[in-house]
Amino acid sequence: EAQVTQNPRYLITVTGKKLTVTCSQNMNHEYMSWYRQDPGLGLRQIYYSMNVEVTDKGDVPEGYKVSRKEKRNFPLILESPSPNQTSLYFCASSPSPPSYNEQFFGPGTRLTVL
């Protein structure tokens, strides 16, 4: 089944404790993104990757890191989480840039930073 998976789905952590949210897609898509969803603000792009080893900042990259060592995986890293990073996070992939076609979203990761 073609899909985007994320882990964990739910996470409660404390300020400053490094964490990684994994994202994997099995559709051989080149383009992958991370978004955060906050009430009234829609989906805001954190980072994106156009291909292996090619990543760049989105609109709200502060406090986040990413890597793209393999085509299928695009982990999101919070080196020192803070309460303002409490949010719902979505990974998405598409065969080409999302300005051309549909993005496929993962199930979401709800993160709470205390």
Partner 1 sequence: GENVEQHPSTLSVQEGDSAVIKCTYSDSASNYFPWYKQELGKRPQLIIDIRSNVGEKKDQRIAVTLNKTAKHFSLHITETQPEDSAVYFCAASILTSLSKTSYDKVIFGPGTSLSVIP
Site for partner 1 in 17-46 (CB under 8 A): 33, 35, 40-45
Closer CB to partner 1, 59 or 79, in the complex = 59
* Minimum separation from the CB atom of position 61 to partner 1 (A): 13
Look at strands 76-78 and 54-57 and give their pairing.
unpaired
Closer CB to partner 1, 16 or 97, in the complex = 97
Q: How far apart are CA 46 and CA 35, in angstroms?
A: 5
Beta strands in the chain (DSSP E): 4-7, 10-13, 19-25, 31-38, 42-51, 54-57, 65-66, 76-78, 87-94, 104-105, 109-113
Would you give the binding string for partner 1 spanning residues 41-80, x where CB under 8 A is met? xxxxx--x-x-----x-xx---------------------
Three-class SS state of 36: strand
Number of residues that bind partner 1 (CB under 8 A): 25
Burial class (CB in 10 A: 0-12, 13-18, 19+), 76: buried
Of the candidates 24, 25, 93, 103, which one interacts with partner 1 according to CB under 8 A? 103
Q: Which residues bind partner 1 (CB under 8 A)?
A: 33, 35, 40-45, 48, 50, 56, 58-59, 90, 97-103, 105-108
